[in-house]
Amino acid sequence: MTNTYTEPVSKLLALGETDWIEWDDYSEFGFTKEHIHELIRLGTDRDLLANIEDEEDDFDYEATWAPMHAWRALVQMQAMEAIAPLAQVFDWSEDTEGDLINEGLTDAFEKFGAPVIEPLAAFMNEAGHSVPGYISASEVLARIGVEHPEHRERIAQIVTSALEEHFEQNEKEVNGFWISDLIDLDAVSSHPVIKKAFEANKVDLTIAGDLEDVEMELGLREERETPAPNLPLPFNFMRSLREVDESLPALVKGEMKRFEKKAKKEKNKRKQEKKSRKKNRKKK
């Protein structure tokens, strides 16, 4: 793996594995505006992000963490010019191993805060992005809306508008995750659009359940009128936990929801990898 970076940016290649929660203080490296372009280049280095060991090349495990360090440094510098190029990296998560993009970049974008709202709105409405890309963009927006209620209404509008505009063309998984994010945002007014997506049979039911599940989550109904769909065990288990939701502390509920979404994203990633393998076999 060839190092084409100069100091002090190159020092990030040697930092190695980092804590997922606690961030280092990157100000000690003396980064200035002059280093932003190279930090963006490191944060979008596809060779490093591929994170795949090749026996024929020198594999530098420490260096594979460098893009995450670059993302965090750019956030701490509030380098807004990094937002648009870094957003494109969300599309690459199905080509990587581990959670570097799914979790690391998502967390970085959340910490950027309000400045990412409009760029991610544009991303969600652009054609040609990957399924994980569309899912991650909406998830970041939902997290910001939950943490910063002053932005919740605008973000709910963005996700609802994107769902209404694109649910026919979207993969069912994308619609399912966008609807799940609208639940997190308590977007009751989005119900008509959500209903249209379900009625068009364009929603993966394993993400947030069927329409009645969603309506109960939004407080629009107290109980089901029809039998619950027979979904995989993990979803039914989470449904049973939600039935005792009132007795769970807020922290536990938050962690449970995060775990649930991560598990569903991993399932979605495996499905996309399977589709990619099938396409590649057809090309041969």
User: What's the per-residue H, E or C state across 15-54?
Assistant: CCCCCCCCCCCHHHHCCCHHHHHHHHHHHCCHHHHHCCCC
pLDDT for res 39: 98
Handedness of CA 183, 114, 137, 196 (dihedral sign): positive
Alpha-carbon span 49 to 89, nearest angstrom = 9
pLDDT exceeds cutoff 50 at 282? no
In a domain, 48, yes or no: yes
pLDDT exceeds cutoff 50 at 281? no
CA 63 to chain centre: 23
Handedness of CA 9, 24, 96, 128 (dihedral sign): negative
pLDDT digits (tens, 9 = 90+) for 160-207: 999 999 999 999 999 999 999 999 999 999 999 999 999 999 999 989
CA atoms within 13 A on the CB side of 117: 18
- Which domain, by its residues, includes 39? 1-81
The count of structural domains within the chain is 1
CA atoms within 13 A on the CB side of 175: 27
Q: How many residues does this entry show for the chain? A: 284
In a domain, 205, yes or no: no
The reported pTM is 0.82
In a domain, 77, yes or no: yes
- State mean pLDDT over 31-56: 84
- State mean pLDDT over 67-84: 97
DSSP-assigned letter for residue 168: T
**pLDDT band for position 231 (50/70/90)?**
confident
pLDDT digits (tens, 9 = 90+) for 93-152: 877 766 889 889 999 999 999 999 999 999 999 999 999 999 999 999 999 999 999 999
In a domain, 224, yes or no: no
With CA atoms as reference, report the closest residue to 79 among 134, 3, 26: 26
In a domain, 211, yes or no: no
Type and span of the H or E element at 191? helix 191-199
In a domain, 217, yes or no: no
Q: Which residues contact 273 (CB under 8 A, 6 or more apart)?
A: 94
In a domain, 34, yes or no: yes
In a domain, 46, yes or no: yes
Is 139 within 8 Å of 101 (Cβ atoms)? Answer: no
